[in-house]
Structure 1
Amino acid sequence: MRIPGMTAATIAAACGLVLALFSGAAAPAAPAAAAPSTLKEAAQTTGRYFGGIMSTNSLANGTATSLAAREFDMITPENEMKWDTTEPNQGDFHYDRGDAIVDWARSQGMRVRGHTLVWYSPDADSQLPAWVKQLPLDQVRAAMENHVTELVSHYKGKLYAWDVVNEPFNDDGTYRNSVFHQAMGRDYIAHALRAARAADPDVKLYLNDYGIEGDNTAKSNAMYDLVKWLKDEGVPLDGVGFESHFQVGQLPHGIQSNMKRFADLGVDVAVTEYDNRMPVTDPQTQRPVNPGDLNQQATDTASVVSACLNTARCVGVSQWAVGDADNWVPHSFPGQGSATLFDVGYAPKPAYHAALNALGGGGGTQPQPWGRWNTADEIRGVNSP
């Protein structure tokens, strides 16, 4: 019987479908989506970012900028926004170095974390100009608020976040005896945050410190109490940065639970300056004394990234370099190095793949056999699973 309106072609197609159903033939499966192959792409699938730092020196290095553009979607200037660079003399502001990094990052579709507005700066670094330290104490607040206002206003609408106050605590949890604390006590932190918010209502405002990553230590408890006080007082604060400068195999206890307790106060958390150093034979090649440390570094890195992924308000991870060639560790910790995800030639290390895998990515370039190191033991140490 012919059904009105059905053509021969339609009937044939219908018959073919029936035969396929009865024969058990399955329709072709849609191809699986490829796993993200870069850190930034993998992090983005989780609603987070993966970042690094950039200096003016690195900005002139095409290998470093190419790697950063491929792998990172958040950039923090290393020193280019610190007080000695931006206001070396009172009222004399310079933005060219910071602007160069911001302009480059934005041209690559990256966001930028401003670093940093108020920092005590150890005397050895001298990144807080002498004129600030020598001010009469009754003039410090005005100078600080003016500095904050000028910088935040200059970059208004261009930054994702500011590290407003950097490293306010000693290792024992007491406040550093900075000129700011001498002049205002802990209130200097609230004054700086309020000045930053007045200058840019939309940028994220952070406190940032090292040694606060572990749960229930003197320093992390001090930061926790500070954040709670600021939130209770209605002071604008959006996040806490855990710098995360570690030594291989010595991660602090309770990183994830510590992130959660800060998040429970109503702030975001972020890993802001991650590196994980190990003993090396020399600062140029940063060849590990024990090549097996590279595998431990990979394990540590996966743990840090996973802690962020398992904390709803952890917004991202940044390492403190583009690669080992740019990292501060060999200069500040003699005999130490190889602290980042990329070696001195910007090749990915096992830690890179550990981070990528933890973020749900895959593929990409496999770890290099470190050909400039010639022994089979070294090659096995780098590449062993």
Structure 2
Amino acid sequence: MAALFLTGLSLLPDTAFGQEIPSLKDTFRNDFGIGTALNMAQIEEKDPQMTAFIVRQFNMATPENIMKSGLIHPKWDTYAFEPADKLVEFGKKHNIRINGHTLIWHSQLPPFVRGIQSRDSVRAFFTNHIKTVAGRYAGKVFSWDVVNEALNEDGTMRKTVFLQHLGEDYVTEAFRLTQQAAPNTELYYNDYNNEQPAKRAGCIALVKKIQAAGVRIDGVGIQGHWHVGRVPLKDIEESILQYAALGLKVMITELDIEVLPRNFQGAEVSRQMAANAESNPYPDGLPDAVQQQLAADYQALFRLFLKHKDKITRVTFWGVNDGLSWLNNWPVRGRTNYPLLFDRKNQPKPAFYKVVSLK
């Protein structure tokens, strides 16, 4: 995912119309974990009201950026562990389980990696990075997104620096190294659009290759960056079934539902759109018809998740509230987006009540 851009917020208490807001984590405590993505201000507890809100609503968390290699490993022989260490402490303090995100991703790499020309040097970075980072947080994070977004839309391997220099077995090797460095940590492959048939087939082939090599993979993350009125429920259900049939846990790892115009699907961070009036149609609020469609989509999704709660272990939203969503700044900067269950003041939207009404 792309970087998150903070905006000034005036948060209201964790109440709505004088009534305490239900807790998502408590509502689904017997079904699956409820997670969110955290930025550095939240990890450092800059806003006590925000901290209290996060702790009440969520029992799992994924760092949005600080564990990506460009931030945690900025130079060949330099690691910046302090932010991730603070995340671990945040989780320990508030009884929130941490999913590490992510060890190997072609995007947000340290600048020095782009200048590497030799296979041996890429392999040295790859090996040392995994062993150092996964090893440091062994027993401290619950799980790792070991490899992120290694597939093209047609299910073939994405052309990355790792594929170029290390070959198609680099994914298997990443899981092997992480297993060695963090033997008691759950290991996941994470991607977007991997509920779509072609990409799903590629993901299944990738998993089978890892398993055939005798290397452990515990689960697959379906990111869940979907679009209002077009959530592919049948494809999602079929993917849950097929991934679970491989003996894998299934996670919805970066859930949000886009309500603004977009001419492509997924979460390819390199893609951009031009900013204009048509690309930001709701700067002053979401029309009721769209709000109700968003609510219906979230309700249908969670109804499906509950149907397969024996296979799904976690549902993580990519951001705490609408104002903190990365979709305000991607693929167009400065838009006003509304993709989550809570508004910019942490107040529940109709979608929230539709979701909790299922229990």
What corresponds to 1:317 in structure 2?
315
Query: Structure 2: how far apart are the matches of 1:208 and 1:328?
Result: 18
What corresponds to 2:328 in structure 1?
330
Q: Secondary structure at the match of 2:56?
A: helix
Query: Structure 2: how far apart are the matches of 1:226 and 1:101?
Result: 31
Instruction: Kindly state the Cα deviation for residue 286 of structure 1 after the two structures are TM-superposed.
Output: 5.3
Q: Secondary structure at the match of 2:88?
A: helix
Q: Which moved more, 1:287-296 or 1:338-347?
A: 287-296
Identity percentage of aligned residues: 32
Q: Which moved more, 1:78-87 or 1:271-280?
A: 271-280
Q: Secondary structure at the match of 1:201?
A: coil
Say if 1:303 and 1:231 are closer, same or farther in 2 by CA, change over 3 A: farther
Q: 1:67-82 counterparts in 2 under 5 A?
A: 67-82=53-68
Is this contact kept in 1: 2:282–2:336, CA < 8 A?
A: no
Q: Residues 28-78 of structure 1, C-alpha deviation per residue, up to 9 Å, x if partnerless? A: xxxxxxxx93110122122x1011011112332333222111100001000
Q: Which moved more, 1:349-358 or 1:260-269?
A: 349-358
Is this contact kept in 2: 1:283–1:330, CA < 8 A?
A: no
What corresponds to 1:56 in structure 2?
40
Q: Does 1:272 align with 2:270?
A: no
**Runs of 5+ in structure 1 lacking a partner?**
1-35, 122-126, 361-385
TM-score by length of 1: 0.78
What corresponds to 1:160 in structure 2?
142
Q: Does 1:186 align with 2:172?
A: no
TM-score by length of 2: 0.83
What corresponds to 2:210 in structure 1?
230
Aligned with residue 239 of structure 1, among 216, 219, 226: 219
Is this contact kept in 1: 2:323–2:337, CA < 8 A?
A: no
User: In angstroms, what is the RMSD of aligned CA positions?
Assistant: 2.0
What corresponds to 1:106 in structure 2?
92
Q: Residues 207-240 of structure 1, C-alpha deviation per residue, up to 9 Å, x if partnerless? A: 00001124xx211111111112222222210000
What corresponds to 2:51 in structure 1?
65
Q: Residues 294-341 of structure 1, C-alpha deviation per residue, up to 9 Å, x if partnerless? A: 211122112222322222221010000011111100100335610111
What corresponds to 2:177 in structure 1?
195
What corresponds to 2:81 in structure 1?
95
Q: Residues 183-209 of structure 1, C-alpha deviation per residue, up to 9 Å, x if partnerless? A: 122211011101111011111000000
Query: Structure 1: how far apart are the matches of 2:307 and 2:223?
Result: 18
Is this contact kept in 1: 2:260–2:280, CA < 8 A?
A: no
Instruction: Kindly state the Cα deviation for residue 355 of structure 1 after the two structures are TM-superposed.
Output: 2.2
Is this contact kept in 2: 1:276–1:297, CA < 8 A?
A: yes
Say if 1:279 and 1:153 are closer, same or farther in 2 by CA, change over 3 A: same
Q: Does 1:44 align with 2:18?
A: no
Is this contact kept in 2: 1:295–1:351, CA < 8 A?
A: yes
What corresponds to 1:381 in structure 2?
none
How many positions carry a matched residue from both structures? 316
Q: Does 1:304 align with 2:304?
A: no
Give the partner amino acid of 2:30.
Answer: T
Say if 1:52 and 1:352 are closer, same or farther in 2 by CA, change over 3 A: same
Say if 1:295 and 1:86 are closer, same or farther in 2 by CA, change over 3 A: same
Q: Pick 1 or 2: higher relative contact order, CA cutoff 8 A, min separation 6.
A: 2
What corresponds to 1:251 in structure 2?
231
Query: Structure 1: how far apart are the matches of 2:301 and 2:85?
Result: 31
What corresponds to 2:200 in structure 1?
220
> Over alpha carbons, which structure has the higher Rg?
1
What corresponds to 1:118 in structure 2?
104
Give the partner amino acid of 2:317.
Answer: Q
Query: Structure 2: how far apart are the matches of 1:72 and 1:80?
Result: 19
What corresponds to 1:129 in structure 2?
110
Say if 1:283 and 1:325 are closer, same or farther in 2 by CA, change over 3 A: farther
Instruction: Kindly state the Cα deviation for residue 357 of structure 1 after the two structures are TM-superposed.
Output: 2.3
Query: Structure 1: how far apart are the matches of 2:245 and 2:257?
Result: 27
Q: Secondary structure at the match of 1:208?
A: strand
What corresponds to 1:293 in structure 2?
290
Say if 1:263 and 1:99 are closer, same or farther in 2 by CA, change over 3 A: same
Query: Structure 1: how far apart are the matches of 2:253 and 2:83?
Result: 21
Q: Secondary structure at the match of 2:125?
A: helix
Is this contact kept in 2: 1:256–1:310, CA < 8 A?
A: no
Q: Which moved more, 1:74-83 or 1:152-161?
A: 152-161
